[in-house]
Amino acid sequence: MNTVTALHSLRTKIESRTANLGVVGLGYVGLPLAMLYSRAGFRVTGFDIDAGKVDALNSGRSYIRRILMEEIQQLLEKEFRATVDYSEIARMDAVMICVPTPLDEHQGPDMTYIESTAKAIAPHLQPGQLIILESTTYPGTTEEVLIPLLEAGNKLGLKHYRDGRDEARSFHVAYSPEREDPGNTAVERADIPKVIGAPAPLSGELAGALYNSIFRRIVPVSSPAAAEMTKLLENIYRCVNIALVNELKLLCLRLGLDIWEIIGAASTKPFGFQAFYPGPGLGGHCIPIDPFYLSWKAKEVDFATRFIDLAGEINTAMPYRVVEALSEALNQRGRSVKGSRILVLGLAYKRDIDDLRESPSLTLIELLRKRDAEVSYNDPFIPAVGRGRHYDLNMQSVELDDLGSYDCVLIATDHSDYDYERIVRESRLVVDTRNATARLDQTNVVRA
């Protein structure tokens, strides 16, 4: 099959919605992506190593709060199905990989999920297939990690496509970073441009054809590494600016100034300023992690990312600063953290979602427990929390029945469901990290 024929064939399948698409990793990124393509008429198969997720989806149940059960049932009506059987990769025309990329214990990239996924896919690769990595990662991952594993593990001796290489003995690879923002309903997913980088123009054209069938704009770049770096820049930009306002918040607390008032005033400038807001630390899968990915990669070329590293240090230290402020507030009321009953409001990493990934609330609870506090939490979206990669809490959300029985109520996530007027009125002490109580009588409120 020549390259023109291959490109025409896949484009024809895409245009007619007859292409078989696989999505590997059915979490906060992969499942919405699978739904997007399925709704557009494509035949989509979801792959995951978690049999519980697979069984839930195939039974019409959702495990992500913002995705309704009715949406999963509609997905099944469109012939979507999930599986743990990677041999079905062989039936796919294109496969999009959306697996986690966490940090290891040394704050370096943990490539376990990408590596295991590549090894699972490789034996079932077929000529002309398109494999796209969407996971956030460091520049070079696609060509240095993914491609070698796919080439080494496939049974047909296939190589990734390069200009001049026999397409009939090749598979295609591209990188297109996910741009998922849990809880954001202001921007439709189809309106979020897709950046695409590929090792060869033909592979980039195939990926572009696939994404262009759904997304209103695609943004081709020169290589997978350029696309990988684009994603890191987007999130490091936020990380650095959040670190700046976090540090300014600490300064304003010492100066007796209100950082939220100041940000509001600065936001009236119609040019040259974008508002970022302080908090108890960074959460989510990308912003707390991506700077460390780039810092790790920079060491390979003997480059010190001092600015990025400093931002990471400031943001990582914020939960410790909050606990110190809470301790000081209790001390001023004749109490110590040890033995105090503390209620943490909000476990999710940001408002009105059920996503725990890298949430600063988890760190806050662990720090308070280490100081022998009696800690409870409430989160309307997270009824229970067990064990994760970096925590083992084994807790259940408590009711907000008797706020006055707690020595301190710590507002860690400003969910819209909370009645902050009641919380301030009925609590002995409120430590507010989100400015949720700004418009209320604050005689018993401490900013942190």
Look up the CATH number of the domain holding residue 406.
Answer: 3.40.50.720
Per-residue pLDDT reduced to its tens digit, 98-148: 999 988 777 788 999 999 999 999 999 999 999 999 999 999 999 999 999
**Residue at which a domain ends, from 222, 245, 268:** 222
pLDDT for res 8: 63
Q: Are residues 142 and 247 in the same domain?
A: no
Q: Are residues 190 and 299 in the same domain?
A: no
CA–CA distance, 105 with 127 (Å, rounded to integer): 38
Q: Containing domain of residue 347, as a range?
A: 237-447
Q: Are residues 98 and 132 in the same domain?
A: yes
Q: 69-77 vs 30-39: helix axis angle to the nearest 10?
A: 50
Q: Are residues 308 and 207 in the same domain?
A: no
Give per-10-residue mean pLDDT for the chain (448 aa). Answer: 59 90 96 95 97 96 92 94 98 97 82 97 95 96 98 95 85 95 83 97 95 96 98 94 96 96 97 96 73 88 92 93 97 96 96 90 96 97 85 91 96 96 96 94 89
Q: Are residues 133 and 203 in the same domain?
A: yes
Q: Is residue 80 part of a domain?
A: yes
pLDDT for res 180: 83
Q: Are residues 267 and 412 in the same domain?
A: yes
Q: Are residues 149 and 259 in the same domain?
A: no
> How many Cβ atoms are within 10 Å of 227's Cβ, its own excluded?
26
Q: Is residue 230 part of a domain?
A: no
CA–CA distance, 81 with 46 (Å, rounded to integer): 6
What is the tally of structural domains in the chain?
2
Burial class (CB in 10 A: 0-12, 13-18, 19+), 322: buried
Q: Is residue 374 part of a domain?
A: yes
Token digits of residue 264: 């509001």
**Residue at which a domain ends, from 164, 199, 222:** 222
* 286 is an active site residue: yes
Give me the catalytic one of 98, 252, 286, 408: 286
Q: Are residues 262 and 349 in the same domain?
A: yes
Token digits of residue 211: 């994404």
Query: Which residues, 6 or more positions from 435, have their beta carbon under 8 angstroms from its beta carbon?
Result: 260, 277, 414, 447
**pTM score:** 0.90
Which conformational region is residue 387 in: left (phi greater than 0), alpha (psi within -120 to 50 degrees), or beta? beta
What's the chain's average pLDDT? 93
Q: Is residue 342 part of a domain?
A: yes
Q: Are residues 318 and 367 in the same domain?
A: yes
Among 117, 137, 145, CA closest to 48: 117
Q: Is residue 63 part of a domain?
A: yes
Q: Are residues 320 and 351 in the same domain?
A: yes
Q: Are residues 182 and 70 in the same domain?
A: yes
Q: For tokens 């994760």, what's the residue?
A: 388
pLDDT for res 287: 66
**Residue at which a domain ends, from 195, 222, 249:** 222
Q: Is residue 253 part of a domain?
A: yes
Q: Is residue 252 part of a domain?
A: yes
Q: Is residue 227 part of a domain?
A: no
Q: Are residues 213 and 246 in the same domain?
A: no
pLDDT for res 104: 79
pLDDT for res 1: 47
